[in-house]
């Protein structure tokens, strides 16, 4: 039986019509022929985020926390309201567990250079996986080179998913942290993070989850997951660039030293010593991206209005439809993504370089990503220099997949005739 039609997924008013959703994104009115299939890199922005951010600058802008005048108080209130929206979005137990950063990359670097540098010692082990984005590899290599930790890599299995049995055998008394993706950006493979967390905690290890790809399309409950850290990026959840989130359990954040020094993160400074604020402010040195945080809050409102279960069902159905359509194209190999794939179709067209495929698709107004997707170790493991990646958003529908399939057939004919 094939994937559920989007029309059957949304039989009533509780769902949404992606064609109607697309009207909320000005980019498509200004580029009427565009089929945008690169949301895993960065999602387009709804009108509410664009207008809401601009309106903040017009009506409420002032620096936060420092001012005692009304405009600064209003700006501070809106900034901290955005933090509360993130807390609810992740179901964190305490607003102090939400740290604003620039992106997932900075969030992981913060954990590595603050928690890792303070609590890891030479010979301690950090377990990652072959599915990881460079942002969850390089920070741990830097820490390894600095203090001598050991980086342990859990393999994928023959289906392209995390080899859970092999992962379990790698856990030991020296394992201090497991840092893995919730959903692989290169393939769309969903990692069974509930089981990963349970196994890691059984060995006394903390867990960091990279939620960059999961947060836009899955309900995320950090208390139910039981993870110690969770990170996601604003621009992938239909929000602005330059803003992201680190969730950390409050007792961990409270024990961590500041990541950067400067204004805002202090209680008292003398030339002899400095007293730091409690989390999250001790990790938010300097003037933050105020408008970015407010825009992120508006983007989360947009997601909640659509409904995260609806978004998940929408992308599951559309992913299945895409797998079926691409399977009909001769010479196309879809990368394996384990037992469950969501939102990403990463493929190799036999005999054609991914960059050439992408350029031909662009001539058909179909925007996709080509390359190693910041996952070079995974590509090397698969014996590929890169792939072509189509990734979905709430504005995509079956017609977009049909356009992709027709453009791929044209690319194949162009290069392989």
Strand partners, 245: 100, 232
pLDDT in the model for residue 345? 98
pLDDT band at 115 (very low <50, low <70, confident <90, very high): very high
pLDDT band at 8; cut points 50, 70, 90: low
Q: pLDDT (tens digit, 9 = 90+) per residue, 365-390?
A: 999 999 999 999 999 999 999 999 99
**Please, which pLDDT band fits residue 10 given cuts at 50, 70 and 90?**
low
pLDDT confidence of residue 68: 86
Distance between CA atoms of residues 107 and 193, nearest Å:
19
Whether residue 239 contacts residue 299, with contact meaning beta carbons closer than 8 Å, is answered with yes
Q: What is the pLDDT of residue 346?
A: 97
Length of the chain: 417
* Cross-strand bridge partners of residue 145: none
Helix (H) or strand (E) holding 214: none
- The predicted pLDDT at position 9 comes to 54
- Give the per-residue pLDDT at 13: 44
Write out pLDDT tens, residues 38-67: 999 999 999 999 999 999 999 999 999 877
Task: Give pLDDT tens digits for 300-351.
Answer: 999 999 999 999 999 999 999 999 999 999 999 999 999 999 999 999 998 8
Query: What would the pLDDT profile of 241-291 be if each residue is shown by its tens digit?
Result: 999 999 999 999 999 999 998 888 888 888 999 888 899 999 999 999 999
Taking the C-alpha atoms of residue 368 and residue 320, their distance in angstroms, rounded to an integer, is 18
Q: What is the mean pLDDT of residues 158-185?
A: 98
The residue among 238, 242, 175, 185 whose CA lies nearest residue 207 is 175
Please count the other Cβ atoms lying within 10 Å of the Cβ belonging to residue 309.
12
Structural domain boundaries of the chain? 6-45+307-416, 51-304
Distance CA 102, CA 247 (A): 13
Whole-number pLDDT of residue 3 = 40
- Stated pTM of the model: 0.95
CB of 188 closer than 8 Å to CB of 278: no
What's the rounded mean pLDDT across residues 176-205?
98
Half-sphere exposure of 31 (CA within 13 A, CB side): 13
Would you call 244 helix, strand, or coil by DSSP? strand
Predicted local confidence at residue 276, as pLDDT = 87
Average pLDDT of the chain to the nearest whole number:
94
What span, in angstroms and rounded, lies between the C-alpha atoms of 361 and 403?
9
- Kindly state the average pLDDT of the residues 171-177: 97
Q: Which CATH number fits domain 6-45+307-416: 3.30.70.1150, 3.20.20.70, 3.90.1150.10, 3.40.190.10?
A: 3.90.1150.10
> At residue 11, does pLDDT exceed 50?
no
What's the CATH fold of domain 51-304? 3.40.640
Is the CB of residue 338 less than 8 Å from the CB of residue 188? Answer: no
Q: Which of 28-37, 110-119, 239-248, 379-388 has the lowest mean pLDDT?
A: 379-388
The C-alpha atoms of residue 362 and residue 35 are separated, in whole angstroms, by 9
pLDDT at 5 over 60: no
Candidates 56, 65, 68, 90; CA nearest to 303 is: 90
Q: Is the pLDDT of residue 12 over 70?
A: no
- Of the pLDDT bands very low, low, confident and very high (cuts 50, 70, 90), residue 127 is very high
- Just list the catalytic residues: 374
Q: What confidence category does residue 16 fall into, taking pLDDT thresholds of 50, 70 and 90?
A: confident
Q: Which long-range contacts (CB under 8 A, 24 or more apart) does 399-405 make?
A: 400/35, 400/37, 401/318, 401/321, 401/322, 401/325, 402/325, 403/35, 403/364, 403/365, 403/366, 404/35, 404/37, 404/322, 404/325, 404/326, 404/361, 404/366, 404/368, 405/325, 405/326, 405/328, 405/329
Q: How far apart are CA 126 and CA 70, in angstroms?
A: 47
Given a cut of 60, is residue 82 above it in pLDDT? yes
Rounded CA gap, 121 and 198, in Å? 23
d(CA 299, CA 239): 5
């Amino acid at each position: 039986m094939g994937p559920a039609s989007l029309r059957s997924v949304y039989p009533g008013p509780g769902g949404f019509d992606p064609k109607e959703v697309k009207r909320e994104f000005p980019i498509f009115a200004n580029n009427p022929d565009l089929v945008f299939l690169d949301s895993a890199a960065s999602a387009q922005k709804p009108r509410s985020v664009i207008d809401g951010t601009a309106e903040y600058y017009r009506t409420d802008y002032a620096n936060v926390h420092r001012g005692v005048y009304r405009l600064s108080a209003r700006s501070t209130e809106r900034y901290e309201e955005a933090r509360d929206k993130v807390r609810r979005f992740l179901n964190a137990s305490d607003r102090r567990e939400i740290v604003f950063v620039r992106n997932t990359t900075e969030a992981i670097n913060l954990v590595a250079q603050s928690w890792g540098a303070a609590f890891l010692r030479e010979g301690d082990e950090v377990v990652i996986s072959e599915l990881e984005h460079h942002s969850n590899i390089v920070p741990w290599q830097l820490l390894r080179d600095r203090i001598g930790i050991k980086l342990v890599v859990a393999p994928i299995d023959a289906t392209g998913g995390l080899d859970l049995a092999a992962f379990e055998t790698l856990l030991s008394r020296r394992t201090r942290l497991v840092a893995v993706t919730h959903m692989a950006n290169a393939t769309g493979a969903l990692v069974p993070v509930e089981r990963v967390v349970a196994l890691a905690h059984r060995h006394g290890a903390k867990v960091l989850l990279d939620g960059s790809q999961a947060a836009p399309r899955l309900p995320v409950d950090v208390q139910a997951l039981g993870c110690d850290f969770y990170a996601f990026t604003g621009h992938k959840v239909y929000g602005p660039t330059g803003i992201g989130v680190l969730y950390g359990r409050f007792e961990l954040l409270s024990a961590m030293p500041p990541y950067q020094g400067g204004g805002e993160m202090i209680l008292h400074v003398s030339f002899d010593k400095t007293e730091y604020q409690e989390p999250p402010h001790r990790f938010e040195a300097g003037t933050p991206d105020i408008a970015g945080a407010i825009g992120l809050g508006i983007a989360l409102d947009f997601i909640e209005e659509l409904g995260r279960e609806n978004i998940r069902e929408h992308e599951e159905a559309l992913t299945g439809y895409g797998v079926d359509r691409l399977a009909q194209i001769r010479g196309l190999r879809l990368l394996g993504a384990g037992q469950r794939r969501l939102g990403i179709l990463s493929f190799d067209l036999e005999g054609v370089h991914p960059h050439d495929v992408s350029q031909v698709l662009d001539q058909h107004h179909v925007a996709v990503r080509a390359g190693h997707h910041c996952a070079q170790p995974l590509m090397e493991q698969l014996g590929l220099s890169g792939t072509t990646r189509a990734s979905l958003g709430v504005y995509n529908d079956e017609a977009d997949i049909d356009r992709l399939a027709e453009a791929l057939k044209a690319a194949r004919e162009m290069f392989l005739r």
